[in-house]
Chain A
Amino acid sequence: MAIVNKILLKILTALVSIFGSLVLVFCIIYLLPGDPVLSMLDPSVATPEMVENLRKELGLDQPFYVQFLDYFMNVLHGDFGQSLVNRDQVLPKILEHFPATLALTLASALVSIIIGVFFGVLSAIYRNKWIDFIARLIGLFGISMPTFWSGILLILIFSVFLNWFPAMGSDGWKTIVLPSLSLGFVGAGLIIRMVRTSMLEVINEPFIVTLRAKGLSERAVMYRHALRNALIPAITIIGLNIGELMAGTVVIETVFSRQGIGRIVADAIMAKDLPVIQGVVFFSAIVFVVINLLVDLSYSIIDPRVRRAN
């Protein structure tokens, strides 16, 4: 029963976070300088009546709280509003493009977990040896290299020179390789450091000595026992990292000309399409909260102590 209560509490907290993000997103958009109506019209043809009519039509002549309540009620009914540019419904548009972004995010997460855990463990096992040095250097590169730059570099090497992978597009598995490498590398840097640090802590704990004394092979000690314990803090980072990766898709989807909600928001920002920006940011906030909820819940699977504490 206690565990159900705890899960319910977590879900409730998540809902509060989602509402908070809705308020925040709405306020930020509202406070942005510039008049959306003026930027929608062409200076050479607009008349004062056109400006007023459009303002009324978009409900932008209403006071702040009326606009917010309208938006809130609409969101509850699953209506995120319409694009100012082409009158598309925002939510169906997001849902249509979200799978591509999710695929890219998960593929990048996979890349960063594989690279991160692999080099993190190596780095801890061979502490202060040349392998450790190289792994840390890779981590440093991953953290410091901007994705748009590494993306263009990958295109140059693997598309233009080697012709192994396509430079752009989002149809077929081949198109996801370069963008997920470029994006996953960033997260990998963080995970390498995290896994290395917590592995080093775990390795020095008494139970590792016990396991060695029992005659277990070094591989079994490291990968089955040490790594499993070291992964708990790493999982928090991976969860947060998925949010980072989703944010990263804004740049990477544009660089690789992929479909997805990152691309939609990048275009909407260029076109000052406020309902779309608002919708995508709010939608991403929901996804982020849900992912963190799942990460929270996953602790109990990985770590029996958490389960028992419940």
Chain B
Amino acid sequence: MKQVNQIKLLAILLVFVLLVSGCASSTSTKNSSSQESNKEGASHPKSGGDLTFALATSPDSLDPARSGLAVAVRAFRTIFDSLVVQAPDNTIKPWLATEWKISNDGKSYTFTLRKDVKFHDGTPFNAAAVKYSFDRINDPKTQAKNAVALLKPYQSSEVIDDYTIKINLATPSASFLSNLSQAMLGIVSPTAAEKYGDQFSKNPVGTGPYKFVSWSENADIVVEKNKDYHWGPANVENKEAPYLDKITFKIIPEEATRIGSVQSGQVLAAETVPPQNIASLKNDSKTQLLKVNTIGLPYTLFFNQRKAPWNDVKVRQAVQLAVDVDSIVKTLYLGTYERSWSPITPGILGYDKSLEGETKANIKKANQILDELGYKKGSDGIRVKDGKPFTLKYVDGTPNREKRNDIAVIVQQQLKKIGIKVEINITKDVATVIYKNADYDLYGNSQVNSDPNALRAIYHTRTPEEEAVFKGLTGGSDPELDQWLEQGTIELDPAKREETYKKVQQKIIKDAWIIPIYVFPYTVAASKTVNGITFDSLGYPLFNDVNIEQ
């Protein structure tokens, strides 16, 4: 009896163990890529090797037209090329297009295309493919996301001959070429896009330096070297096929795990390093830290000018004076983020450096302004006017990206000093609270963009029709700003554009439409054996020059 029972117990345990091991995907592949790549000689730069690169979130789609997330761009920038490339000095250089002519009215662009380019599936790259890619974005059936906005004011394409294409715009657009350089307007293989339809996002085919291999959701995206590649853009050194055999993008959302994976050698590189780790990694002998500031609109707090008293410039200025941005950035990001001074980031065309150092916190002056406006401090230190306490509704979203929720708490403490009671609402549902109901006094947002024309979508007066669909972030309206922003869109002379956008920036800051907070640095922690990770003008990583040494 005793033995029978023991055997029974053993059997149950055995079944249990089998179940467990059988359920785990049993392909125990040795994927320590660092070991594989270390075998070859040490000549610089050498071919071969696999890079594992940890991403912080899951991409939504690998179809450039249908993606709305920066993290997806980091992966599919390796698969898709663009017609042109934006150099670090913001000039536009050839890529898949060798040259282009702009018509006198600024409404049509004629591109001459490279003749020696093939898609990964063998489809030849030509004018028809370019036309297909852009028409596809504009087709409502595609349900394109950010690409639609980037392609505006695109109207149509005419195939002149196999390697010449004329693109017609509804209105002139100074940012059009810059937008074309973005990965979301990358050229897709018409054959593959037709074949896969909806599923193209899981079977992307482009002309890029890497070919798509596989995407297992929540685990990894694998791309391999495109051996035929020899049309690298101006912003990389290696115009030929990449050195790496393979890149595996691993998706590791938890930041401690992501950084731990680099330190333990399980992955070779990981993106988005939290500030506290940036400081500690600087002393790590095996790990290097790469950092590049993204460009576009910095993280900015917007006043909702639809609501009193925020339609009063003086009240906004008082709050602007009371918020000590330097102390916020120093406290939360430990000196690893830079504070911003303007509605656009440094590095973008027209950035006005003269605004730096202009806005300084001054509690005394802020209090003085509010005193003059008739807001009287009550016994609890909160100001009252017409029997109503002075409150400010500060809305922010979850998850607590880049410690933005903590900014709200610091602003709350800072505004208490001038007698304003800040009510913080951290919501999951930003779409309803902000964009549908505009139920906020202060709300923060940022945007990666390559051209100052991005300001127009935010700061230009919105029509009632536009407001009916989605509320704008400022709720403000200024004819002068409108006029400058419209000018900036169509003016093709960069020098004149710069002047226009400087006026725009100064006015927005002077009239206290916003409080700019920080410029987001894109950071990568990588093993010191990894060389050649570079970044494009928007701050996205490039892998053409990457090689792995011993």
CA distance A106 to B20 in the complex (A): 6
Query: Which chain A residues lie closer than 8 Å to B374 at the CB level?
Result: none
Choose one: A53, A107, A171, A256; the contact of B29 (CB below 8 Å): A171
Comparing A15-23, A42-50, A135-143, A197-205, the segment that makes contact with chain B is: A42-50
Query: Which chain B residues lie closer than 8 Å to A107 at the CB level?
Result: 20
Q: Which of A239-267 contact B (CB under 8 A)?
A: 254-257, 259-260, 263-264, 266-267
CA distance A51 to B428 in the complex (A): 20
> Chain A interface mostly helix, strand, loop or mixed?
helix
Do the beta carbons of A103 and B257 come within 8 Å of each other? no
Do the beta carbons of B264 and A166 come within 8 Å of each other? yes
Across the interface, name the chain A residue whose C-beta is closest to B454: A44
Q: Which of A142-189 contact B (CB under 8 A)?
A: 148, 152, 155-156, 159-160, 163, 166-176
Query: Which chain B residues lie closer than 8 Å to A87 at the CB level?
Result: 198-199
Kindly state whether residue A34 has any CB partner on chain B within 8 Å: yes
Do the beta carbons of B60 and A271 come within 8 Å of each other? yes
Chain A: interface residue total (CB-CB under 8 A):
58
Do the beta carbons of B60 and A86 come within 8 Å of each other? yes
Q: Which of B446-477 contact A (CB under 8 A)?
A: 457, 465, 468-470
Kindly state whether residue A293 has any CB partner on chain B within 8 Å: no
Given contacts A85-B60, A110-B20, A167-B260, contact A42 B68 (CB under 8 A): yes
Given contacts A86-B201, A172-B28, contact A106 B23 (CB under 8 A): yes
Query: Which chain B residues lie closer than 8 Å to A2 at the CB level?
Result: none
Kindly state whether residue A55 has any CB partner on chain B within 8 Å: no
Kindly state whether residue B510 has any CB partner on chain A within 8 Å: no
Interface residues on chain B, size class? 35 or more
Cβ proximity bits A75-90 to B, threshold 8 Å, 1 near / 0 not:
0000000000111000
CA distance A235 to B550 in the complex (A): 53
Do the beta carbons of A44 and B431 come within 8 Å of each other? no
Kindly state whether residue A100 has any CB partner on chain B within 8 Å: yes
Do the beta carbons of B140 and A50 come within 8 Å of each other? yes
CA distance A99 to B216 in the complex (A): 15
Choose one: B20, B149, B465; the contact of A42 (CB below 8 Å): B149
Given contacts A45-B149, A100-B24, A171-B29, contact A267 B218 (CB under 8 A): yes
Do the beta carbons of B25 and A100 come within 8 Å of each other? yes
Choose one: A38, A53, A100, A255; the contact of B432 (CB below 8 Å): A38
CA distance A53 to B24 in the complex (A): 42
Kindly state whether residue A102 has any CB partner on chain B within 8 Å: yes
Across the interface, name the chain B residue whose C-beta is closest to A149: B256
Kindly state whether residue A39 has any CB partner on chain B within 8 Å: yes
CB proximity of A248 to chain B, nearest CB, Å: 15
CA distance A224 to B61 in the complex (A): 57
Given contacts A33-B432, A99-B23, A110-B20, contact A256 B60 (CB under 8 A): no
Kindly state whether residue B254 has any CB partner on chain A within 8 Å: yes
Do the beta carbons of B24 and A103 come within 8 Å of each other? yes
Comparing B227-235, B245-253, B532-540, the segment that makes contact with chain A is: B245-253
CA distance A147 to B213 in the complex (A): 34
CA distance A172 to B31 in the complex (A): 10
CA distance A10 to B93 in the complex (A): 72
CB proximity of A140 to chain B, nearest CB, Å: 25
Query: Which chain A residues lie closer than 8 Å to B261 at the CB level?
Result: 159, 166-168
Cβ proximity bits B1-39 to A, threshold 8 Å, 1 near / 0 not:
010010000000000110111011101110100000000
CA distance A224 to B5 in the complex (A): 9
CA distance A175 to B250 in the complex (A): 14
Choose one: A48, A99, A106, A271; the contact of B469 (CB below 8 Å): A48
Choose one: B250, B256, B468; the contact of A155 (CB below 8 Å): B256
Do the beta carbons of A47 and B399 come within 8 Å of each other? no
Choose one: A38, A103, A254; the contact of B20 (CB below 8 Å): A103
CA distance A166 to B31 in the complex (A): 11
Query: Which chain A residues lie closer than 8 Å to B61 at the CB level?
Result: 85-86
Query: Which chain B residues lie closer than 8 Å to A156 at the CB level?
Result: 256, 260
Do the beta carbons of A43 and B28 come within 8 Å of each other? no
Do the beta carbons of A168 and B250 come within 8 Å of each other? yes
Choose one: B16, B219, B250, B263; the contact of A106 (CB below 8 Å): B16
Choose one: B24, B250, B432, B465; the contact of A173 (CB below 8 Å): B24
Can you list 30 contacts pairing A with B, beta carbon distance less than 8 Å? A39-B429, A42-B146, A42-B148, A85-B61, A86-B60, A86-B201, A87-B198, A93-B217, A97-B217, A100-B24, A103-B23, A155-B260, A159-B266, A167-B257, A168-B258, A169-B219, A170-B219, A172-B24, A172-B27, A172-B29, A176-B24, A254-B253, A255-B254, A257-B219, A257-B252, A257-B253, A257-B254, A257-B258, A259-B25, A270-B399
Across the A-B interface, give the 6 residue pairs with the lowest CB-CB distance, nearest first: A103-B23, A172-B28, A34-B429, A39-B431, A43-B470, A257-B252
